[in-house]
Amino acid sequence: MSDITPTRQALAGVIEYNRGLLARARDLNCRAGAVIFPIMDRGSLATWLANRLQGARRASEVQNPDVLKLPELDQAQVARVLTECPDTICVLGFDLPVEYRGGSAPLVRIGRDKVGDHTWRNLPDEGVKLPGGRLVEIMVIFTYYNSVSGTDVPALKRQCASIANKSAWDVWRDRPAIGLPDLADPSAVVPEIIEAVYGVSVVDGTPLMAYGVAALKGYRYSSDSWFEDKWYQSREEAQTARVAAIAKLDGLRKEISEKALVEAAKKEAEEAKEELRSVQSRDGWYELEYELRRKVEDRTGYWGSIPSDLEGIKARVVETRALKVQVEAALGTFCEHKAQAERERQAAAPKPAPQVKSRPIPQSAPAFSSGGFTLADLTQKWGRRS
């Protein structure tokens, strides 16, 4: 014997009915791309059910399950939506199914069996629309892995033509050379876009144009050039690549200029550092205050590294030279005090007595007779001594 009461069976039927009705409303809204049939959220639905349950808290207390059924959909509106948004539409002479997607345009797929003779060329440039006027997205499938889609039919045709003519692009080898900018040349620029014919369209026999430009390399070693010859099948792509190359060239030149300034500043900082280090060999160095000597040693020692940024290096040069001036002033003060102390010491020392030089007395003097002498006698005697 079944435990399911008639009331429970009726309620189960109501639940299935409501689920189906809500699913139908969602499908119709998705087809129309708008909310034609309002759907209550969970809160509103709970309030709606509570009003109809009239206090019933279990299945056995529900007097009439049919009052819990959601209102029927407006059949006139349903018919209108189905007419304006049908299951299939005719595209290129084929009845093709329409895929309705929430938040996106309806989609129609043109399979591989329908594109072999380039039927996509006959798509209307104004686009494919549903009977109600809603724009349809067209997907053209060439292979399992290769397809294009969009609502802009002219752009879609260009993509299809590019795929159809891909073989001509793949075998094109005689490509003109493109001049690459030389970073060593300050006047070098990214050249204008070069046009070249790489084949003939298999679709309509028109020339196929390629657009060459000096573009940024996708991958490079540190020793490689930043730029390479690159060819595109659309001028828009080539122009985008050229703009990026110009921006990169300007950036590289700025980097080179900044690097040169940094190197020059580093050289100046090293010179200032060596000049400061030289004061450590000066007379009076070890007589300076410890804190001042520590500043010099910190600045000139192993840990006194020079900053990497330009502003930091410039600040380091100014600080180093200011410290050197401070040390030289302290050394000058020390030397001056030392000289003054030496002068005072010399002034306070006793002075020695002056020495009188005496003329040596000859051991023997010339003897003269008592009778006197003549000039000849002196000449004869002194001449003999000399």
Are 270 and 308 contained in the same domain? Answer: yes
Question: Residue 340: which pLDDT band, with cuts at 50, 70 and 90?
Answer: confident
CB-based contact 279:296 (threshold 8 Å): yes
* Domain stops at, among 143, 164, 185: 164
Are 251 and 178 contained in the same domain? Answer: yes
Are 188 and 247 contained in the same domain? Answer: yes
Are 62 and 96 contained in the same domain? Answer: no
Task: Establish if 63 belongs to a structural domain.
Answer: yes
pLDDT digits (tens, 9 = 90+) for 103-146: 899 999 999 888 877 889 999 999 999 999 999 999 999 888 88
Percent pLDDT > 90 in the chain is 34
Task: Establish if 160 belongs to a structural domain.
Answer: yes
Are 127 and 179 contained in the same domain? Answer: no
Task: Establish if 362 belongs to a structural domain.
Answer: no
* Domain stops at, among 102, 137, 164: 164
Are 262 and 335 contained in the same domain? Answer: yes
Task: Establish if 353 belongs to a structural domain.
Answer: no
Are 318 and 264 contained in the same domain? Answer: yes
Task: Establish if 372 belongs to a structural domain.
Answer: no
Are 292 and 230 contained in the same domain? Answer: no
Q: Between the CA of residue 274 and those of 260, 261, 313, what are the distances in Å?
A: 21, 20, 15
Cα gap 174→267, rounded to integer Å: 50
Q: Beta strands 88-91 and 94-97: pairing type?
A: antiparallel
pLDDT digits (tens, 9 = 90+) for 188-232: 889 999 999 999 988 788 899 999 999 988 777 777 788 899 999
For residue 57, pLDDT over 90 is answered with no
How many structural domains does the chain have? Answer: 4
Token duo for residue 184: 């060593």
pLDDT value of position 140:
94
Cα gap 10→7, rounded to integer Å: 5
pLDDT value of position 371:
52
- What mean pLDDT is reported for the chain? 84
Are 28 and 56 contained in the same domain? Answer: yes
Tell me what the mean pLDDT of segment 78-92 comes to: 95
pLDDT digits (tens, 9 = 90+) for 286-310: 888 899 999 888 888 777 788 888 8
Are 112 and 94 contained in the same domain? Answer: yes
Task: Establish if 125 belongs to a structural domain.
Answer: yes
4 vs 177: which has the higher pLDDT: 177
Containing structural domain, residue 30? 6-81
* Domain stops at, among 44, 59, 81: 81
59 vs 368: which has the higher pLDDT: 59
Rounded to 10 deg, the angle between the 235-278 and 310-348 helix axes is 10
> What is the DSSP secondary-structure string of 214-268?
EEE-SS--TTS-SEEEEEESSHHHHHHHHHHHHHHHHHHHHHHHHHHHHHHHHHH
Cα gap 306→316, rounded to integer Å: 7
Contacts with 312 (C-beta within 8 Å, 6 or more apart), sequence order: none
Question: Residue 64: which pLDDT band, with cuts at 50, 70 and 90?
Answer: low
Give the lowest-confidence range in 45-49, 99-103, 178-182, 268-272: 45-49
pLDDT value of position 1:
42
Question: How many other C-beta atoms are found inside a 10 Å radius of the C-beta of residue 85?
Answer: 21
Tell me what the mean pLDDT of segment 64-82 comes to: 85
CB-based contact 175:231 (threshold 8 Å): yes
pTM of the complete model? 0.49
Are 263 and 230 contained in the same domain? Answer: no
Are 231 and 252 contained in the same domain? Answer: yes
Task: Establish if 359 belongs to a structural domain.
Answer: no
Task: Establish if 12 belongs to a structural domain.
Answer: yes
